[in-house]
Amino acid sequence: DQQVKQNSPSLSVQEGRISILNCDYTNSMFDYFLWYKKYPAEGPTFLISISSIKDKNEDGRFTVFLNKSAKHLSLHIVPSQPGDSAVYFCAASPYSGGYQKVTFGTGTKLQVIP
C-alpha cells in the first residue's frame, strides 16, 4: 500500500518556464512533507519541506503548496534551469515523539530543456 504517490514518472519543461511536480498522499497522520532531488549516481538531497499547519513554503525559486483537504502537494520551480534536471522525490512523515519514519514516493524525472 503506497502512502505517497507521484503519478507522473517524467516531465519535460523549457528553460525559464515553470515546472510543477505533483504528489498525493493517503495517510492523514502525516505532519511533515518534504521534497528531495536526486542526480544520477548520487543520493537524494533535501530541497524543501512544509509542515501540515501551513499551505505554502517558499525558498528562492522553489515553492511547495499543500492542500490538506485534497491530500495533495506540489512543488513549483520558477524559473526552471537546466541544472534542475533530476529525479524529484516527494516524502512525508508523521510526528511521533521524536521518531519520524519518512515515506517516499516513486519519483518524477524532470528534464529542463535549454
Partner 1 sequence: EAGVTQFPSHSVIEKGQTVTLRCDPISGHDNLYWYRRVMGKEIKFLLHFVKESKQDESGMPNNRFLAERTGGTYSTLKVQPAELEDSGVYFCASSRTLGPSGANVLTFGAGSRLTVL
Q: Does 51 participate in binding partner 1 (rule CB under 8 A)?
A: yes
Which of 26, 19, 23, 18 is CA-nearest to residue 1? 26
**Helix (H) or strand (E) run with residue 36 in it:** strand 32-38
Q: Is residue 60 near partner 1 by the rule CB under 8 A? A: no
**Residue 36 CB: number of other CB atoms within 10 A?**
21
- Site for partner 1 (CB under 8 A): which residue of 46, 58, 67, 78? 46
Q: Is position 85 an interface residue for partner 1 (rule: CB under 8 A)?
A: no
Place of cell 516531465: 11
**Which residues of this chain interact with partner 1, rule CB under 8 A?**
2, 4, 9, 32-34, 36, 41-46, 49, 51, 89, 91, 93, 95, 98-107
